Structure 1
């Protein structure tokens, strides 16, 4: 058993779980401005209030797993991306505080609305910037970060930041379609399709930009034996887009959220295939960055215990708070 690949798989799955679960509640914050009514905003808040903090467990798990299995990547990434990581965490802090204070505030309610919106949008944007910087490659020399502290400030990074904002906003809208009904749900349907087209535009743009700016990725996509694994991805994306259009037209409730996350998964698979087998594209492989096998095996025991527990309480939380959110609902 190649325990390094096992750990890479665990981290990849954990990151995808974070994108799916925390993505939609960040997205709810970003579509807040579409609904100026306090009553409606209370409903939107209440739809994610029981689950939003539990969703962030996957981000903590991913960070801990990275430290245990790939300490070089953890050290290099945190050193090089220190500023966008701090900006992201500050946004998450303001967003979390807004949950607690908005429901109790009177005169300052609009201030906490703004904190919720900006915290959600800022966290999504800086996560996308971090993704863009990682894909372009973090400067490494002798196992340590060797670049400028602002190397992540690039057009590509800002573009992926905006792309992730659109992704999360679409996830939020499709999640709310499942949780609401009546006029509010109808308004959300009118948001879903334009956002789907916007996300498709970002997917196409990144798919063109990446190989044009990176010769190694271009060779992997179009020349190597790996290209056959990528060919089904654009076909499946097209099929999913058509299915989303039909789901919105027939006012399906669950299908848009599922299809949105299928789009996310397809893009995610494409990225993973593009960077394989690097831990830091395109300079450090997974095996070069891995901790000793004994350390990986020791940490794997903990992961085998902890991950099922996370899955159980996450599933239980969503089961308990299943169903539609009702008008007049508030978060206390």
Structure 2
């Protein structure tokens, strides 16, 4: 018998990963704006993502819709628990999106739109990290999966720390993207900045990896289970390896490798997150099967997803292929 709940978890997990990957470097460019003062170089930074930035956010919408269709209890509970940071994130994304459209059309007020782009990017990234930290900490529910906490349970030192961690992660992704897509002084500045971001990211990964098992005995029991340790130990070892490779790639002047290696670090962090919480979709109490919608509902939604997801993938790949070249000062965006 086909496990529809498991299929939907895979779809949602892949959708969230693609969103974090694509919108991560997109948001990272706004986070990096304060490090670059030259107006023309800032124009180049925005032009590297101008054709694709709004399409990147399709995957966030897909993830939310899939969660509502396949796991409505999770949708209701998580939104109840994390209503404020999710609202703040959406407001920040609105400011950022408006800044994207208005910045190139303004003259005297362009510096204000630069600030909206910077703070929209930073705050949206920070809120995503806070949501991640609050989710890892766990969401208190009753036997029916109804949220039993208050509106401020998400606000803890750990969630604030993971908020900063996601900001650093997105900045590193944005840095790698700009190394790949730009030339001359802007590219050199990114080469100089990226090793610092990677070292900060490594420290953040290490701190989260140490704190999480200490605070959650069930997570510690999984990672240090003698029967599983052989299979799970490659994850932290690969984090060390890819951090070294990414820094080395910057020193050697490789253009694509720093971005690819940073994506690998993000994938490893995401893998560790899934390993720590599996099979709970509302940690620490509700599994994916307990929170699943009726099979008929899951099957109906799955048919639509199998039609739409390949279309979204195709136009996403096509847009990146069409706009694959580097962007230089003096280019009037993409032609």
TM range (shorter): over 0.9
Partner of 2:329: 327
CA-based RMSD: 1.1
> So what's the TM-score if we normalise by structure 2?
0.97
The answer to whether the Cα contact below 8 Å between 2:126 and 2:167 also exists between their aligned partners in 1 is yes
Matched residues in 1 for 2:68 and 2:331: separation?
41
- Does the 8 Å CA contact 1:43/1:327 hold for their aligned counterparts? yes
Residue in 2 aligned with 1:284? 286
Q: Is the CA contact 1:128–1:162 (under 8 Å) kept in the aligned structure 2? A: yes
- Identify the match of residue 270 of structure 1 among 269, 272, 288: 272
1:106 Cα shift? 1.2
SS in 1 for 2:69: helix
Taking the aligned partners of 1:105 and 1:223, their CA distance within structure 2 comes to 58
Distance 1:291 1:246 in 2: 48
Distance 2:186 2:80 in 1: 44
Helix, strand or coil at the partner of 1:279: strand
1:231-271: CA deviation from partner (whole Å, max 9, x where unpaired): 11011111112211221111000111100000000111011
Aligned to 1:294: 296
Q: Residue in 1 aligned with 2:190?
A: 188
In 2, Cα distance between equivalents of 1:261 and 1:220: 25
Aligned length: 332
Superposition deviation, residue 3 in structure 1: 1.1
Cα drift, residue 227 of structure 1? 3.3
Q: CA deviation at 1:329?
A: 3.3
Tell me the equivalent position of 1:154: 156
Q: What is the CA distance between 1:2 and its match in structure 2?
A: 1.1
Where do 1:1-332 residues align within 5 Å? 1-141=2-142, 142-223=144-225, 225-330=227-332
Q: Could you tell me how far apart the structure 2 residues matched to 1:120 and 1:275 are?
A: 28
What whole-Å deviation, never above 9, does each CA across 1:38-81 have from its counterpart, x for those lacking one? 11111111111100000000000000000011111000001111
Runs in 1 of length 4+ with deviation above 6 angstroms?
none
- 2: CA distance between counterparts of 1:134 and 1:47? 32
CA contact (8 A) 2:132 2:159 kept: yes
C-alpha contact (below 8 Å) 1:42/1:328 kept by paired residues: no
Question: SS of the residue aligned with 2:289?
Answer: helix
TM-score, with length taken from structure 1? 0.98
- The SS at the match of 1:144 is coil
Q: Verify the 8 A CA contact 1:43 1:330 in the aligned structure 2.
A: no
Q: What is the distance in 2 between the residues matched to 1:222 and 1:322?
A: 44
CA distance in 2, matches of 1:86, 1:6: 29
**Unaligned stretches of 5+ residues in structure 2:** none
Q: Distance in 1 between matches of 2:295 and 2:226?
A: 30
Q: Structure 1: which 5+ runs fail to align?
A: none
Change (3 A) 1:245 1:52: same
Distance (whole Å) between structure 2 residues aligned to residue 226 and residue 5 of structure 1: 21
> For the residues of structure 2 that align with 1:227 and 1:303, how far apart are their CA atoms?
36
SS at match of 2:299: helix
Change over 3 Å in CA distance of 1:276–1:224 after alignment to 2: farther
Q: Return closer, same or farther for 1:192/1:225 CA change in 2, 3 Å cut-off.
A: same
- Kept in 1: contact 2:15–2:59 (CA 8 A): yes
